[in-house]
Amino acid sequence: MEEQRIFSQLANLHYFNICEHCLIVDRDMRRSSPGHICTNCNKPGSGSIGYFNLGVYEILSLMEGFYNLEIKESSQEFNEYIKDKNIHHISFIIFFCSLAEILLTNFFHHYFEKEKLPKKIRNRLFDDNILVKQKIEKLFPSLIGIKWKDAVTIVDEKSKYNYKKTLDFYRKVVRIRNELIHRGNSWLIPDEMPINCLRNTIPLTQLFVDLHNEFIATKYA
C-alpha cells in the first residue's frame, strides 16, 4: 500500500544527522560511530546528533497512528460519531499544518545555535513574529539575507522534489484550516486530503533539510 511505503520513508527521518562542526545534514548512518569523518568538512564527529526535534517525530507518529486507527467496539452512536470522515480529515489538516510550523521553528533554532544568539534575543524574535506568515516574510529574510520565495527557488532547482508544488498544497491546507476555524466549513475538506497530506510529508521535511544545508551549514570546497 502507498501509505505503508510513505510511513516507511518517514521512519528514515531518524537517520538525518547533523555534523557538529560544519552543520551539514545528511543520512550518513556512520555518523553514529564516534570518530567518523564527515565527508563535507573532513572532521571527526563525537556521534549521532539528530537534526529534527522531538516535535517532528511526535507529529509524524500521530499521523501514522491516526491513519491506521481501528475503531474499537463501542456503542453504535459512538462508532457513527468516530466514523464521520470530517473528524478524520480535520485531524490530518491540523497535523500537517503543525508539522510545517514545527519544521520552520526547527530551522530557526539551528540558525540561532550557529549564531550563538542568547535565549532572550531568540524569544524576542519569536515573540515579534508569532505567525508563520511573519516568520516567512519578515524573520527569514532578516536572518538569512534572502527572501523565502527566492530561497525555495534555489533549493527547488537542485532537488528531485517539486517544493513549490508542496508549498502550494500547504497553503491550500492552511486556507481550508482557516475556513474551518472561522466559519466551520468542514464540507470544504476534500476526501483525498489525508492521503495527500501523507504524500507531501516527505518533500516538506526534505525542503527544510535542503534549506538548512544551503543557508545555514558551512560549505567546504
pLDDT band at 85; cut points 50, 70, 90: low
Model pLDDT for residues 140-180, shown as the tens digit of each residue: 999 999 999 999 999 999 999 999 999 999 999 999 888 88
pLDDT for 183 equals: 73
pTM for the whole thing? 0.88
Give the pLDDT of residue 84.
57
Is 50 exceeded by the pLDDT of residue 11?
Answer: yes
| Domain residue ranges of the chain, discontinuous segments joined by + | 52-215
C-beta contacts of 10-18 below 8 A and 24+ residues apart: 10/60, 10/64, 10/201, 10/202, 10/205, 13/52, 13/56, 13/57, 13/60, 13/205, 14/50, 14/57, 16/50, 16/51, 16/52, 16/209, 17/48, 17/49, 17/50, 17/51, 18/49, 18/50, 18/51, 18/110
Residue 57 has pLDDT above 70, yes or no: yes
**CB contact set of 26 (below 8 Å; sequence gap of 6+):** 16, 17, 39, 40
pLDDT value, residue 6: 78
